[in-house]
Amino acid sequence: MKKNLFIAAGALALLTSCGGSKTGITKGSLSEFDSLSYAMGVNIGGSLTQQLRDIPMDVDVVVDAVEKGALKMSNKELKESSDYIMNFMSKVRPERKKAIMEQRRVEDSTRLANGDTTKMIRPEADPAMFENDAERKEFCEKLGFNMGGGLKQSNLEIQTVWVGEAIRNMWNREEVKMTPQEAGEYLRYYFMEKLPKLNAEKSEKWLEKKASQSKTVKTESGLIYKVVEEGDLSQTVKSDRDTMKLHFVGRSMNGKVFGASHFADLDEHAQEMVKMYNPDHFDEDEPIAVTLKDVFPGWAEAMKFVGKGGKIHMWIPSSLAFGEYGNRREVGPNEAIEVEAELVDLVPYDYENSPECLNAKASKEWLAEIEKQDGVQKTESGLLYKVERKGSKVCATKDTDCVRVHYEGTLRSGKVFDSSYERKEPITFGLNQVIKGWTEGMKLVGKGGKITLWIPSELAYGERGAGADIGPNEALKFTVELLDVNPGK
């Protein structure tokens, strides 16, 4: 992680923080040094000294407000602080700064005009940045509240007394217990090594405890679950493409909600965001529609144990959830999670009428007709080809050979989806860099020759298709001129 990531978690959060929910933040005590808290404070203080030196702040007011913002303030109050700071920094500060510079210019011009060439030494932070002391205090409080909100959102075990101590040391340019470089190194160590290890250990113990509870089941993968209601077991998820309509709430080990379908289950900050982006329908509480591919592996595995209308409670190891990187601030690296889910409805995937099934049938019929044409040959893999112009004896023989070609690719319908002729420029590539049908087909013609390939989907882009034109299980046609061959390059 780069140092600016840690600043974003602390100091730069002062511009974006809107609060959080459960955290491990305490006031703490100066009797025992806390490395994490002090390092966070050094990063925050360093950002303040670099970015806000032109603002005559009262650092004691800022520090007191940081503690209050982290420990006592509501999300609504923190949101108000964030809005205030964003407005001041984006609008008020630039205007005041411009006015200060203009005033200094006028003063310097007047002094020089009167013959005074003395160089003026002015304070780095001009008192004119604020209209009065009351505004100055308000800014410092709002700034501190907002930074405290950023700490609150971090979901880390932080002592505000040590954060404040470091901010004061940095702002006042006092001797520090950690230099900015040392703080950055410690934070890199903490977030990349210590925290993942701590979370893994806590997760293991947490999961063991959950597994010992009544009626819980542990699978071979490590998933732990308890069926709350079986539901209709004649209607269960059978395909990873079945659509599940779910109500759910997901929490970290400490109970912090990272996602929910019911508005009331979201924390205050998430509710604010939902209201902002969906003001007319924020509390309608519609179930989410997902497939097994849309959820992480542990969740997908658990949903196979209940039927339509069923409810399940699951505890999922990190390896089957958000893994070693976690999920932003809600779930840490290597942290296990819990999810409660209700399978409200189930819509089985209609494979017979799906694009992959229809394309597979149509492609098979199309290739069968092509195979009947004069001059068309078929390889063991199923590739169909016709040599239009044989070319020389120089040909590609290995997958590592490099070829230069002109080509046109079309669908069954005849629609051209790709063409080097249209681009008016041949293309060069290694045979190990393209679809299997090309790799095989380009060995069937010599340099200067021309060949037509009809490629079944399993030798092309398979069930996934490619881009907007090539659907799943789509057979393709290519007309190719082999312009040059470079063996083994």
DSSP track, 439-462: HHHTTSSBTT-EEEEEE-GGGTTG
**Among the options 263, 282, 349, 417, which is catalytic?**
417
**Among the options 54, 58, 418, 469, which is catalytic?**
418
**Among the options 322, 407, 451, 455, which is catalytic?**
407
- Is residue 417 annotated as part of the catalytic site, yes or no? yes
Q: Residue 470, SS3?
A: strand
Phi, psi of 71 (to 5 degrees): -105, -30
- Is residue 435 annotated as part of the catalytic site, yes or no? yes
Contact 158, 40 (CB under 8 A): yes
- Is residue 6 annotated as part of the catalytic site, yes or no? no
Strand partners, 249: 260, 340
Question: Is residue 20 within a helix (H) or strand (E), and if so which, with residue range?
Answer: none
Which segments within 203-336 are labelled E, that is strand? Answer: 217-218, 224-229, 243-252, 257-260, 288-290, 311-316
CA dihedral of residues 454, 458, 460, 461 (deg, nearest 10):
140
Nearest to 145 by CA among 262, 13, 47, 54: 13
CA dihedral over 291, 293, 299, 304, signed as positive or negative: positive
**Among the options 248, 296, 322, 461, which is catalytic?**
461
Q: Residue 423, SS3?
A: helix
Strand partners, 452: 386, 479
- Is residue 407 annotated as part of the catalytic site, yes or no? yes
Contact 248, 341 (CB under 8 A): yes
Contact 167, 62 (CB under 8 A): yes
Give residue 122's region: left, alpha or beta (phi > 0; psi -120 to 50): beta
**Among the options 100, 288, 370, 435, which is catalytic?**
435
Active site amino acids: 407, 417-418, 435, 461, 478
